[in-house]
Amino acid sequence: MKEIQQDIDAVGRIDAISLILEVVCRTTGMGFSAVARVTDDKWITCAVRDEIAFGLVPGSELKLETTICNEIRQHHNPVVIDHVALDVDFAQHHTPAIYGFQSYISFPITLKNGSFFGTLCAIDPNPAHLKNTQVMGMFKLFADLIAFHLDTQEKVASTEMELLEARKTAQLRDQFIAILGHDLGNPVGAILNVSQLLLRMPLDERTKRLANILQNSSYRMKALIENILDFARGRLGEGIILKRNDNEPIAEMLEQVIAELAILWPDRTINTNFRVKCAISCDGRRVSQVLSNLLGNAIAHGSKDTPVNVDVVCDADDFSISVTNSGSQIPDAIREKLFEPFSRGDDQGKDGLGLGLYIAAEIARAHSGTLTVKSDEHSTAFTFKMPVN
């Protein structure tokens, strides 16, 4: 019954409903008009205009089987009777006999999703002239108007629910980001700092090896947390946020990234080619993040016996970073999904969540640029490219 009451309330919230029922009575000369909610087992009035003391008010119920509306519920067609006594189909029908009317008109109210809500109907103990274009057109219009208002209310309610869920999601996002950024990020940063301090001290070989393991693991943990943070912001919140600088010292920032990775991978050779002589409008920290991701992947996945090449080029129109490593070709099926979140190729033994390339691609997109990959049997090259301004 709760759902029925909600339907009654929904019809009652339609500002024009009283005027619609009044126009129905005035236009047809009939004394009773109503909007009825008709279900598989109930007929209940939602709104009523009663000038003949029929005795129904909003919420009143008639036995479903005694109503013509029950038949309309089944065939979804309007029923119009000018004079019951002269009507071939309804002269012997049980409903007019039970309720004592001679004229009757009822049009189905069908919602946008195709479901049957009920009827807009009118009755009178006297005959009426109803089977004409004007009256039937008016009923059709009013029935559609009522359905429109009901659909609109449903849409508004759904939107309000979505907004509530969005607020809950935003709150969860903020809590999630706070945990990652502070509660996890800070201790990992502290561990990384301790490991770096240890490596500056005179240590025996075993302790130095342990300090290196601690540093490398902390660096990977820090990168994982940053990637998850970016993914959470992108999927749950505002996306990749840029802090552009019109004259970013990008070459120095990228060289710092390369120096840091060279310390972490002392046995690997990194060849660099910088041709940057123009000003770049970009978020240097984010562009550095792209290089860190691409270079880290190239070192981890490339051939260990050959160098990794980093080319940074700026011309009048574009700025690009290309990272190339030797090694086996990336299969087409894997290459097509490389920039999707949680895609790690077919090497499940490697560290990471498969978010790095996705985030790098999002950073490129935020800079109105692209991140592409070319791979053959000899080498694999990732290229970040963006307009200079």
Upper half-sphere CA count for residue 318 (Cβ side, 13 Å)? 12
**26 CB burial (10 A radius; 0-12, 13-18, 19+):** exposed
By 3-state DSSP, what share of the chain in percent is helix, strand and coil, each rounded to 5? Answer: 50, 20, 30
Q: Are strands 308-314 and 270-275 parallel, antiparallel or unpaired?
A: parallel
List helix spans (H) across 240-355.
Answer: 250-264, 284-301, 332-335
What pLDDT is stored for residue 123 in this prediction?
Answer: 97
| Sheet-wide strand order for 43-50 | 61-62, 43-50, 32-38, 116-124, 103-110, 79-81
Model confidence at 354: pLDDT above 80 = no
Model confidence at 350: pLDDT above 50 = no
At residue 230 the predicted structure's pLDDT band, cuts being 50, 70 and 90, is: confident
Residue 300 corresponds to which tokens in the numbers above? 């981890």
Beta-carbon contacts of residue 337 (< 8 Å; ≥ 6 apart)? 343
Model confidence at 43: pLDDT above 90 = yes
What pLDDT is stored for residue 383 in this prediction?
Answer: 96
**109 CB burial (10 A radius; 0-12, 13-18, 19+):** buried
% the chain with pLDDT above 70: 92
Contact 7, 46 (CB under 8 A): yes
Quote the DSSP letter at residue 373. Answer: E
For helices 133-178 and 205-236, give the axis angle rounded to 10 degrees: 160
Q: Among 55-64, 276-285, 289-298, name the one with the lowest average pLDDT.
A: 276-285
Contact 8, 37 (CB under 8 A): yes
**Helix, coil or strand: residue 356:** helix
- What value does the mean pLDDT take over residues 315-333? 90
SS3 of 102-147: the string is CEEEEEEEECCCCCEEEEEEEEECCCCCCCCHHHHHHHHHHHHHHH
Q: Among 64-68, 91-95, 183-187, name the one with the lowest average pLDDT.
A: 183-187
Q: Among 86-100, 102-116, 212-226, name the one with the lowest average pLDDT.
A: 212-226
What pLDDT is stored for residue 142 in this prediction?
Answer: 96
**Helix, coil or strand: residue 23:** helix
At residue 294 the predicted structure's pLDDT band, cuts being 50, 70 and 90, is: very high
Higher pLDDT, 240 or 235: 240
At residue 349 the predicted structure's pLDDT band, cuts being 50, 70 and 90, is: very low
What pLDDT is stored for residue 182 in this prediction?
Answer: 63
Contact 8, 44 (CB under 8 A): yes
CA-atom Rg of the chain in angstroms: 37
- Which residues partner with 310 through β-bridges? 272, 323
**DSSP state letters, 210-256:** HHHHHHHHHHHHHHHHHHHHHHHHHHHSS-PPP--BTT--HHHHHHH
Q: What residue type is assigned to position 190 of the chain?
A: A
What pLDDT is stored for residue 236 in this prediction?
Answer: 53
Contact 21, 33 (CB under 8 A): yes
At residue 172 the predicted structure's pLDDT band, cuts being 50, 70 and 90, is: confident
Higher pLDDT, 216 or 31: 31
At residue 348 the predicted structure's pLDDT band, cuts being 50, 70 and 90, is: very low
What pLDDT is stored for residue 9 in this prediction?
Answer: 93
Q: Mean pLDDT, the chain, as a whole number? A: 88
Q: What is the pLDDT of residues 173-226, one digit of tens each?
A: 667 666 666 667 778 888 888 888 888 898 898 888 888 888 878 877 777 777
Q: What is the pLDDT of residues 245-264, one digit of tens each?
A: 888 888 998 998 898 888 88
d(CA 314, CA 386): 10
| Inter-CA distances, 346 with 332, 337, 350, 355, 360, Å | 12, 11, 10, 15, 20
